[in-house]
Amino acid sequence: MGEQLLYKHLQQELKKKIYAGELTDGDLLPSENELTQMYKVTRTTVRKALDELVKERIIRKEKGKGSVVTRDNKNLGLLGVKGFSQVVTAQNKKVSTKIIEAPAMSAWPEMFFYPLSETEEKSGCISMKRLRLVENDIVMLENTYIPNFGMSKLCETPFVNGSLFETLHEVFHLNILRVEQDMRAIIAQGETATLLKVYEGHPLLNIYLKFYTDKKNICIYSNLLCNTTKYSISS
């Protein structure tokens, strides 16, 4: 346990301070030289830790000024490494979620939209279907698939702040690193049209998402069907 990479340690220390509110949007981190002294490491190590935070979009660096905390990301729309509720609420919109199918253990769907690793295949999956609303407009139908690595608790307890990602972070210490996406335009049909309350033939944006986590071989998959008539999807 105690053994940890120096840069990872520093990275997590800084992340904690940011998430705890000690450092907030726009604040400057201690300079790289200060951090070398505070943590008794070289600048290379400090820079590696900061580079990781930049990758996570938690800070940004400005030459001549310093490392700035960025907890805004307003135009990150949907496609960044964030969940729906975190993103849209950041834009001062009233967001709500209607659960169509609560999280439940099942086998993986046949012909799953992404190839699965062997470990994922064996573990089975937890799937759920949710409807997303912004300002009382139905904007999205979301099918989510999570490999079941001892996460059956997901099926029993409500989500932290209603957010899957926050729950994964808080309860399972699982963090999303990056996301791959694949987009198509399709035509609304059948149940999808009914749930989204659009006519059959209405155009929808179909997004396949694959979220990579900090645990190897664990990815989370989502299939989004978006009615973009009123709200577009940005990044």
Partner DNA sequence: GAGTGGTCTAGACCACCTG
Partner DNA sequence: AGGTGGTCTAGACCACTCG
Packing angle, helices 32-39 and 43-55, rounded to 10: 120
Q: Which stretch binds DNA (CB under 7 A): 26-34, 121-129, 182-190, 217-225?
A: 26-34
The answer to the question of residue 182 lying near a copy of itself (CB under 8 A) is yes
**Binding flag, residue 66, DNA (CB under 7 A):** yes
Q: Does 181 bind a copy of itself (CB under 8 A)?
A: yes
Report the site for DNA in 31-50 (rule: CB under 7 A): 31-34, 40-45, 47-48
- Cβ contact 43:36 at 8 Å: yes
Looking at the Cβ atoms of 35 and 168, the one nearer to DNA is 35
Tokens of 135: 């300002």
186 contacts a copy of itself (rule: CB under 8 A):
yes
**What is the DSSP annotation of 61-127?**
EETTTEEEE----GGGTTTSSS-HHHHHHTTT--EEEEEEEEEEEEPPPTT-SS---HHHHHH-EEE
Among 66, 124, 162, 203, binds a copy of itself (CB under 8 A): 203
Which residues in 169-218 belong to E strands, given as ranges?
Answer: 176-187, 203-213
- Selection from DNA, a copy of itself, none that 135 binds (CB < 5 to 8 A by kind) is none
Exposure b/e, 67-89, CB count within 10 A at least 16 = b: bebbbebeebbbebbbbbbbbbe
Does 6 bind DNA (CB under 7 A)? Our answer is: yes
CA atoms within 13 A on the CB side of 160: 13
18 near DNA, rule: CB under 7 A: no
Size of the site for a copy of itself (CB under 8 A): 24
Is the Cβ of residue 29 or residue 140 nearer to DNA in the bound state? Answer: 29
71, 24 in Cβ contact below 8 A?
yes
Least CB distance to a copy of itself at residue 86 (A): 19
Rule CB under 8 A: choose which of 2, 20, 185, 199 binds a copy of itself. 185
Site string for DNA, 67-106 (x = CB under 7 A): x---------------------------------------
Query: Is 226:203 a contact under the CB 8 Å cutoff?
Result: no
CA 18 to chain CA centroid, nearest Å: 18
Question: Out of DNA, a copy of itself, none, which partner does residue 173 contact, by CB within 5 to 8 A per kind?
Answer: none
Interaction site with a copy of itself (CB under 8 A): 44, 75, 77, 79, 180-187, 201, 203-206, 226, 228-229, 232-235
Interaction site with DNA (CB under 7 A): 5-8, 29, 31-34, 40-45, 47-48, 61-67
